Amino acid sequence: MEYRRANECPRCGFVYTGFNRPKPANSTFAERFSASLREQRRHSGIFGRVRYVEAEHARPWQCRCGTWLQASPWSFGWVDVTGIAALGGLHAVLAANFGWARNGWVFATPIALWVGYRLTRQVSVAEVPAPASAEAASGRR
């Protein structure tokens, strides 16, 4: 078995992070935007929003080399819970001692950075068969 990192395309070795997936082919920004709005309407509330982002995350996409890839679902473990609890605790200590730390951003920004960092570390892609709709579309080429 050839060694590869979990976030690399198995065929061409392109390294994926959470943010550099190719956009669906043959679509304009407006089309993608309205499709995204349509799907978001099916989910409501803050947890609906999270589920939508998670569904997007697990949707297969086509690499520039033509391979269909799918990311494995997010998994958060004790390290995330501990990290967020530690940041929250640190903030409580700072807020008790310093006026500037009572600003909500001082609390939210490190947690957002931590969650973002964990998400980019969790990208793990696997090759999947092309979806039936994409098979039909590529037959035209």
Q: Which of 66, 49, 57, 74 is nearest to 11 (CA)?
A: 66
**Given 4, 5, 6, 12, the residue binding Zn ion (CB under 5 A):** 12
| The token pair that represents 59 in the structure block | 């949707």
Q: Tell me: does residue 130 bind Zn ion (CB under 5 A).
A: no
Q: How far is the CB of 77 from Zn ion (least distance, A)?
A: 29
Q: How far is the CB of 67 from Zn ion (least distance, A)?
A: 5
> CA-CA distance, 42 to 52, in Å (whole number)?
9
Q: How far is the CB of 10 from Zn ion (least distance, A)?
A: 8
Q: Which of 82, 56, 88 is nearest to 71 (CA)?
A: 56
> CA-CA distance, 102 to 17, in Å (whole number)?
33
Which positions from 55 through 74 interact with Zn ion, judged by CB under 5 A? Answer: 63, 65, 67
Binding site for Zn ion (CB under 5 A): 9, 11-12, 14, 63, 65, 67
